[in-house]
Amino acid sequence: MIRPRHARIVATLGPASREVAKVRALAEAGADVFRVNFSHGGHKDHARTIANVREAEQLVGRHLAVLADLQGPKLRLGEFADGRVRLKSGQDFRLDRDPAPGDASRVCVPHVEIFQALKPEADILLDDGKVRLKVRKCGPDFAECVVTSGEALSDHKGLNLPGLTIPIPALTPKDREDLNFALAEGVDWVALSFVQRAADMAELRQIVQGRAGVLAKIEKPAALDALDEILDLCEAVMVARGDLGVELNPEDVPVVQKTLVRAARNRGIPVIVATQMLESMIHAPTPTRAEASDVANAVYEGADAVMLSAETAAGDYPVEAVSIMDRILTRVEQDPRWPELMAAEHPVDDEDADALVAAARRAAEAASTACLVAFTTTGQTALRLSRERPIQPILALTTRLASARRLALAWGVEARVIGEITDPEEMARTAVDKAVEFDLAPPGQRVLILAGLPMGSPGAANILRLAHTPLRR
């Protein structure tokens, strides 16, 4: 089942979509990667969901990836005596560590790290920014604030500190338990929430030890200050626009999105654009025109994937949401200007391996080239080709099932598992046979082959070879 598009779709699974039949329908509609959100549900539900993806994978005949999304720290208010209060702009409001139920003058914040990060004149956002406070005076266990906007506030609403780095680890005890469970279940990608510094990703990598790809969710402005160091430790990145949009000005979010997409592509790591892409389809059968344009713009920017959250996890039209997103992606890639945009920003790299990959991309510009075939053990050769954004499909052939599944997130890559290959001639025959088998190369067309010798050994590609499909099948 080869998809006639390059950009990928990540679909979140939940009560509306976790059963095998629905997962299969989502995959057939165009989903490539399935997100399991560890902020909701227990391990029993997640184990069943992952097993259902693996069963659906067999039914659709192509590799599907599972992305485990860890919850991360959740900074929340305590409780109010009456469950909720109404505030007025200009009034005083105190945050402290007193566990007593709050009222219209104060409430408990049980996280000591909040007070460690605060300073006078800092802004505090409550309930995704619906209520805003300005700090007048603060100490190790209190903050005297003034309400600058907002009225209604209720128990356990979230808390954000825009522009401040909170001294709290990204991996909570719950995350560690969830991570161990997810790795034991054989997930393909692990996403870390609340990333603020490179040390957060370094800790995740140390635990994962290559058993899954590691992905940083960029949802805190503090991460932007350490972006290069964070991306150096990532194998993929997500533009988590929902949380970013709480702490950044709305006009800044599109610029950050473009910056992150460009930075990820330069490094050759997949980048996902996420949050509110087709949000109206949680309850409506069609998206708004603005949402369709938003999805299309992410494709024009060169994002590897776009993500659906509640639309597929809990919405009324999960399959329709994936189908419409697939149609938008496909339509953009039919735009005659789209190849020009993909070619406009080819990364420049002096490493020998990337020079060979760039040569493959230039050779692929010939009209007679039907597809590129990358023999890869870890997936890196295919990812390097994907970074070049060739218009022809990339067929990644690997002996490792884990590598094939992980590549489901990569732009333009179709991954398949093959047996061991021992010599270059067998390699060329296999490349041509598979290109023909999957209808990627018609008779008499050229196939570009990228591989490394010795065969089967992880390392940089060092062979670029041309082959042709037979004139007759």
- CA dist list (Å): 411 to 24, 128, 304, 308, 392: 21, 32, 5, 17, 11
Q: Which of 8, 24, 132, 217 is catalytic?
A: 217
- And the tokens for 451? 């591989």
Domains of the chain plus CATH, in order, are: 8-73+169-333 (3.20.20.60), 84-160 (2.40.33.10), 352-468 (3.40.1380.20)
pLDDT digits (tens, 9 = 90+) for 191-222: 999 999 999 999 999 999 999 999 999 999 99
Report the pLDDT value the prediction gives residue 359, as an integer from 0 to 100.
81
Report the pLDDT value the prediction gives residue 357, as an integer from 0 to 100.
82
Question: Quick one: pLDDT band at residue 309, thresholds 50, 70, 90?
Answer: very high
Percent of the chain clearing pLDDT 90 (strictly above): 80
Report the pLDDT value the prediction gives residue 473, as an integer from 0 to 100.
56
Residues 6+ apart with CB under 8 A from 21: none
Question: Quick one: pLDDT band at residue 435, thresholds 50, 70, 90?
Answer: very high
Report the pLDDT value the prediction gives residue 199, as an integer from 0 to 100.
96
Average pLDDT over residues 132-148: 97
Report the pLDDT value the prediction gives residue 368, as an integer from 0 to 100.
80
Q: Is 88 a catalytic residue?
A: no
- φ/ψ of 438, rounded to 5, equals -95, 15
- And the tokens for 204? 């995740």
Degrees, nearest 5: CA angle 414-417-421: 115
Is the model's pLDDT at 443 over the cut of 60?
Answer: yes
Percent of the chain clearing pLDDT 70 (strictly above): 96
Q: Is 119 a catalytic residue?
A: no
Helix, strand, coil in percent for the chain, rounding step 5: 40, 25, 40
Report the pLDDT value the prediction gives residue 353, as an integer from 0 to 100.
60
Average pLDDT over residues 287-313: 97
Degrees, nearest 5: CA angle 20-318-28: 55
Q: Which of 124-133, 141-150, 232-241, 455-464 bottoms out in mean pLDDT, i.e. has the lowest?
A: 455-464
User: Radius of gyration over alpha carbons of the chain, in Å?
Assistant: 24
Report the chain's mean pLDDT, rounded to a whole number: 93
Residue with the bigger pLDDT between 227 and 457: it is 227
Question: Quick one: pLDDT band at residue 358, thresholds 50, 70, 90?
Answer: confident
Torsional sign, CA 303, 309, 312, 313 = positive
Distance separating alpha carbons of residues 70 and 13, to the nearest angstrom: 14
Neighbours of 111 (CB within 10 A): 18
Q: Which of 162-171, 197-206, 246-255, 340-349 bottoms out in mean pLDDT, i.e. has the lowest?
A: 340-349
Q: Which of 140-154, 341-355, 391-405, 439-453 bottoms out in mean pLDDT, i.e. has the lowest?
A: 341-355
Is the model's pLDDT at 366 over the cut of 80?
Answer: no
Question: Quick one: pLDDT band at residue 23, thresholds 50, 70, 90?
Answer: very high
Residue with the bigger pLDDT between 358 and 446: it is 446
Report the pLDDT value the prediction gives residue 377, as an integer from 0 to 100.
92
Q: Is 62 a catalytic residue?
A: no
Is the model's pLDDT at 163 over the cut of 90?
Answer: no
Q: Are 136 and 123 in contact (CB under 8 A)?
A: no
Report the pLDDT value the prediction gives residue 347, as an integer from 0 to 100.
65
Q: Which of 275, 369, 398, 469 is catalytic?
A: 275
Closest CA to 10 of 312, 394, 383: 312
pLDDT digits (tens, 9 = 90+) for 388-426: 999 999 999 999 999 999 999 999 999 999 999 888 889
Report the pLDDT value the prediction gives residue 136, as an integer from 0 to 100.
97
Q: Which of 73-82, 134-143, 460-469 bottoms out in mean pLDDT, i.e. has the lowest?
A: 460-469
Question: Quick one: pLDDT band at residue 187, thresholds 50, 70, 90?
Answer: very high
Report the pLDDT value the prediction gives residue 362, as an integer from 0 to 100.
80
Q: Is 3 a catalytic residue?
A: no
Is the model's pLDDT at 430 over the cut of 60?
Answer: yes
Question: Quick one: pLDDT band at residue 351, thresholds 50, 70, 90?
Answer: low
Q: Which of 3-12, 96-105, 437-446 bottoms out in mean pLDDT, i.e. has the lowest?
A: 437-446
Q: Which of 18, 24, 35, 387 is catalytic?
A: 35
pLDDT digits (tens, 9 = 90+) for 310-320: 999 999 999 99
Report the pLDDT value the prediction gives residue 472, as an integer from 0 to 100.
65
Is the model's pLDDT at 142 over the cut of 60?
Answer: yes
Distance of CA 10 to the CA centre of its chain: 8
Is the model's pLDDT at 350 over the cut of 60?
Answer: no
Q: Which of 76, 130, 174, 416 is catalytic?
A: 76
Is the model's pLDDT at 458 over the cut of 90?
Answer: no
Which residues face 239 on adjacent strands?
218, 273
Average pLDDT over residues 348-362: 71
